[in-house]
């Protein structure tokens, strides 16, 4: 699957040509017509992390490994260059890692509308105010209530999502293989609240206190407005995503080169 803008990109055309010349049967999947052929052994996502997240929805629970090829801007899920992808996959220099997914079970008066959104997330699930008034978000972890968050919204992220939206709201950076979830308020109006890290086995329940009639519900790169009577339980999904990890992949290196982590003149080059 590719980003729509890449149809005539020479990098994309060259990537496809190299896979074909290496003896692979290659076919293209479009997001608006996501048909996966029987016998498919590898799903290649070409673009950025947004394309990778869309690819995860298309693959679903089929168990097909996804290889992310970065022709976008940042890329933590799609971190590999076209040359790295072809060279290392052809040489068998890769492993398959399991990335956990979140699942949202949602109750709302907008139940019919919610059928159109996939309830699984690789990075994060958020609720966010749609109007001018802040939200009160009541959260419980395995039935144990937390103090109400007064904020623009709330985010629950996986370890994979720690370098995505969670990072922007002040959440911790977490190694992808860590078995944890991150609960973070978005622009909190409390001076004494912090992001919370919980075991990935936790069941996280939330409900809202709101003066507006609607809020935004976002599941990875998919969003919709729902009624504020929303109640949601978030837990680990019954299946995980299989991601191709090349031998050259290094999370710490990605942090320093993509996010300039620790950039300091005293550290040298």
Q: What residues are labeled active site?
A: 49
pLDDT of residue 115: 83
- The predicted model scores a pTM of 0.91
pLDDT of res. 269: 61
CA-nearest of 95, 85, 71, 93 to 17 is: 85
Q: What CA–CA distance (Å, rounded) separates 175 from 178?
A: 6
CA neighbor of 71 nearest in space, from 9, 29, 8, 160: 9
pLDDT of residue 165: 96
pLDDT for 118: 93
First-to-last alpha carbon distance for the chain, in angstroms, is 37
pLDDT for 3 equals: 66
Q: Which portions of the chain are predicted below pLDDT 70? A: 2-4, 32, 269
For residue 127, what pLDDT is reported?
A: 97
């Amino acid at each position: 699957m590719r980003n729509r803008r890449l149809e005539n990109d020479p990098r994309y055309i060259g990537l496809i040509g190299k896979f074909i010349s290496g003896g692979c049967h290659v076919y293209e999947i479009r997001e608006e017509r996501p048909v996966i052929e029987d016998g498919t052994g590898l799903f290649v996502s070409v673009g950025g992390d947004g394309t990778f997240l869309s690819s995860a929805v298309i693959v679903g629970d089929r168990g097909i490994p996804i290889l992310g090829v970065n022709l976008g801007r940042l890329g933590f899920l799609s971190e590999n260059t076209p040359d790295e992808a072809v060279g290392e996959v052809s040489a068998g220099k890769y492993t398959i890692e399991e990335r956990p997914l979140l699942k949202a079970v949602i109750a709302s008066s907008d139940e019919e509308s919610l059928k159109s959104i996939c309830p699984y997330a690789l990075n994060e699930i958020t609720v966010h105010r749609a109007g001018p008034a802040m939200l009160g978000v009541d959260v419980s972890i395995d039935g144990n209530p937390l103090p109400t968050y007064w904020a623009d919204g709330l985010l629950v992220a996986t370890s994979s999502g720690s370098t995505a939206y969670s990072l922007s709201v002040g959440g911790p950076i977490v190694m992808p293989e860590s078995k944890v979830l991150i609960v973070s308020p978005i622009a909190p109006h409390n001076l004494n609240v912090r992001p919370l890290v919980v075991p990935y086995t936790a069941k996280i329940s939330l409900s809202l206190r709101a003066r507006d009639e609607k809020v935004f519900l976002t599941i990875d790169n998919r969003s919709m407005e729902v009624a504020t009577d929303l109640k949601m339980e978030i837990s680990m999904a019954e299946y995980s995503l299989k991601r191709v990890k090349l031998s050259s992949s290094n999370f710490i290196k990605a942090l320093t080169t993509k996010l300039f982590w620790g950039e300091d003149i005293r550290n040298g080059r």
